[in-house]
Structure 1
Amino acid sequence: MYSYEWEQLQTKLPQWVEASRKQHVHGQVAAYIPELSKAPKDALGITMMDGRGNTVISGDCGCVFTLQSISKVFTLILALMDNGENLVFSKVGMEPTGDRFNSMLKLELVEPGIPFNPFINAGAIAVSSLIAGNSIEERYARILQFLRLLAHNDRMDFDQDVYESESATGHLNRSLAYFLMEKGILRGKVEDVLEVYFRHCAVNATCADLARMALVLAYNGYDPIRNTQLIPRRYVQIAKTFMTTCGMYDASGHFAIQVGLPAKSGVSGGILTMVPGRYGIGVVGPALNRMGNSTTGVHLLETLSRELDWSMF
């Protein structure tokens, strides 16, 4: 079955990519982080990897972009590995918000006042404060080491220009962080936590990196290529549940219906997703819809899921 599907992908993926590329006219690159506005609006690329390390690629899959919110999947997992579930979920909740990813509204209105989930900005900032380490450098180094391990790429590093752009314009994130500090949710100094947060959001990646990282999640923390368990299965289950319910911002329900796969997007246009037990998938398409998701990437994944019957539901 999978060999026939793989043949279909190799044959039809280029035409599906070109059909989805046209959707870039319905989106805009992220301009609120000035450095991200330089990305090519019409770019679209995809890499898929199976459990033997075989890949199928199409489009602009060599495009380098920053992880942005995709990194939140892995800081959550690392925080769980460092602290366990009870502590992490005393600082951040488990529910979708229905609000924008950078909203402060429910922090003030809904008890107990912790961020609703670890994928909105407030939640991810809280999670970043839970990464073990005695300094900014040590905490960021541990995150980067973890990302490199999962991507099997020791050259991954953060983009200095994007980091500086995010830090210089991150006024709302600073407001969120200071609010969390006031409520006793944040560990450490606000500016130190934000430094770690801005850095891990600015880590560079390619579609191949995303596909390799997603493959480990697709196999519940087990790396089938290196034949080793890299993440406890339980923590991957938690992360994939959040990816399904919250991973595509406040379009997560729509994505679950139309695609039906766990996924996490970032405002650089990246999408990390997977077919559980089969493939890791990395997509990039910098033109974003009003929800902050790639217009071209979402359209391509909808096509793949429909044509190949990938939905989990």
Structure 2
Amino acid sequence: MSNAAMEQLNLLLPEWLETSRLHTGQGKVASYIPELFKASQDELGIHIMNAEGNHVSAGDCGIPFTMQSISKVFTLILALMDHGEEAVFFNVGKEPTGDDYDSMIKLELVEPGIPFNPLINAGAITVSSLIGGDCKEEKSRRILEFFRKLANNDRLDYNEAVYQSESETGHLNRSLGYFLKHNGVLKDDVEDVLAVYFRHCSIEVTCADLARMALVLAYDGTDPITGNELIPRRYVQIAKTFMTTCGMYNASGEFAIQVGLPAKSGVSGGILTLVPGQFGIGLVGPALNRKGNSIAGVHLLERLSKEFDWSLF
């Protein structure tokens, strides 16, 4: 994005964000993880970064929040870097489900009982088991180090309160884990795998951290600010494809039509998205629509995409 366009965006973004903020009253903050329910419903913030490191931001972009399902994009990439495509996709599929992100229906109904894709909970739990490391602590350490490198932020860490809250109330995820173990998909101890999964969901970030991570994806695995290649291009291609087809839960098709960008949301209200070859975007708005996506965040991204003609389609 040119400097002139960044200046235009800087002028327009605050007003557009406040218009989108009006939609927060139509959503609800996630309550099934008690710690997430403490977030303020009317918060909304966004950070946009280009290849030179220039950025524009607006709203509540400095508030910390946990990555939740956004982390699934990067654990998938790390598992691919550890084991390669064949091994990963022997254990998890490549197709959208059309079901809720925590559904286990197709695990029982469809052979061979592997998760449909890596971005639903069952798939991400499976991917967590594929992260290299001799124990759950080593796997979690490697994930955190990888995320810190992508965000260029050595201070990234887990939110222990959210981790404990997820672990104590994650009964459906625990059921998914044991069902996967029954199907022979999980080879490791279920509780150890779930500990890794709950931990990476509880990594705390800001919109700026997400924007920097998205920027690496926007430039095919190379951090354009430092010039360092952090991810093989092929694995970024796979990740962005899943983000487009599955990243916004079972509203991914609608998001592709209305916004047209690869994206991944989380139930903390975060959304990571990008315009390939241009910039990365991090957004947070804890009030969710019924599909589990930030209601005001989606509204703001839709306006930005239409006004600046960002859609890939």
Superposed CA deviations along residues 208-266 of structure 1, whole A, max 9, x for unmatched, are 00000000000000111111111000000000000000000000000000000000000
Superposed CA deviations along residues 57-81 of structure 1, whole A, max 9, x for unmatched, are 1000001000000000000000000
Alignment of 1:47-62 (within 5 A): 47-62=47-62
User: 1:113 matched to which residue of 2?
Assistant: 113
Answer yes or no: is the 8 Å Cα contact 1:130–1:187 preserved in 2: no
1:187 Cα shift?
2.9
Whichever residue aligns with residue 218 of structure 2, its letter is A
Q: Give the distance between the partners of 1:149 and 1:80, measured in 2 at CA.
A: 17
Structure 2 runs not aligned, ≥5 long: none
1:45 Cα shift?
0.3
Could you list the structure 1 runs, at least 4 aligned residues long, displaced by more than 3 angstroms after superposition.
Answer: none
User: 2:287 matched to which residue of 1?
Assistant: 287
Answer yes or no: is the 8 Å Cα contact 1:5–1:308 preserved in 2: no
SS at match of 2:281: strand
User: 1:196 matched to which residue of 2?
Assistant: 196
User: 1:244 matched to which residue of 2?
Assistant: 244
Q: Give the distance between the partners of 1:310 and 1:6, measured in 2 at CA.
A: 14
User: How does the TM-score come out when normalised to structure 1?
Assistant: 0.99
User: 1:306 matched to which residue of 2?
Assistant: 306
User: 1:153 matched to which residue of 2?
Assistant: 153
Answer yes or no: is the 8 Å Cα contact 1:26–1:295 preserved in 2: yes
Q: Give the distance between the partners of 2:18 and 2:275, measured in 1 at CA.
A: 22
User: 1:69 matched to which residue of 2?
Assistant: 69
SS at match of 1:56: strand
SS at match of 1:229: coil
Q: Give the distance between the partners of 1:203 and 1:187, measured in 2 at CA.
A: 25
Count of residues in correspondence between the two structures: 313
The alignment status of 1:11 with 2:22, answered yes or no, reads no
User: How does the TM-score come out when normalised to structure 2?
Assistant: 0.99
The alignment status of 1:44 with 2:44, answered yes or no, reads yes
Q: Give the distance between the partners of 2:164 and 2:230, measured in 1 at CA.
A: 32
Name the Cα RMSD after superposition: 0.7
Q: Give the distance between the partners of 1:252 and 1:8, measured in 2 at CA.
A: 29
User: 2:173 matched to which residue of 1?
Assistant: 173
Superposed CA deviations along residues 31-88 of structure 1, whole A, max 9, x for unmatched, are 0000000001000000000001001010000010000000000000000000000010
% identical equivalent positions? 70
Q: Give the distance between the partners of 2:61 and 2:118, measured in 1 at CA.
A: 28
Whichever residue aligns with residue 249 of structure 2, its letter is Y
Q: Give the distance between the partners of 2:152 and 2:212, measured in 1 at CA.
A: 7
User: 1:220 matched to which residue of 2?
Assistant: 220
The alignment status of 1:137 with 2:137, answered yes or no, reads yes
1:3 Cα shift?
3.0
Whichever residue aligns with residue 109 of structure 2, its letter is L
1:2 Cα shift?
2.5
Q: Give the distance between the partners of 1:29 and 1:245, measured in 2 at CA.
A: 25
The alignment status of 1:81 with 2:94, answered yes or no, reads no
User: 1:255 matched to which residue of 2?
Assistant: 255
Q: Give the distance between the partners of 1:38 and 1:155, measured in 2 at CA.
A: 23
The alignment status of 1:29 with 2:26, answered yes or no, reads no
1:98 Cα shift?
0.2
Q: Give the distance between the partners of 1:257 and 1:138, measured in 2 at CA.
A: 40
Answer yes or no: is the 8 Å Cα contact 1:35–1:162 preserved in 2: yes
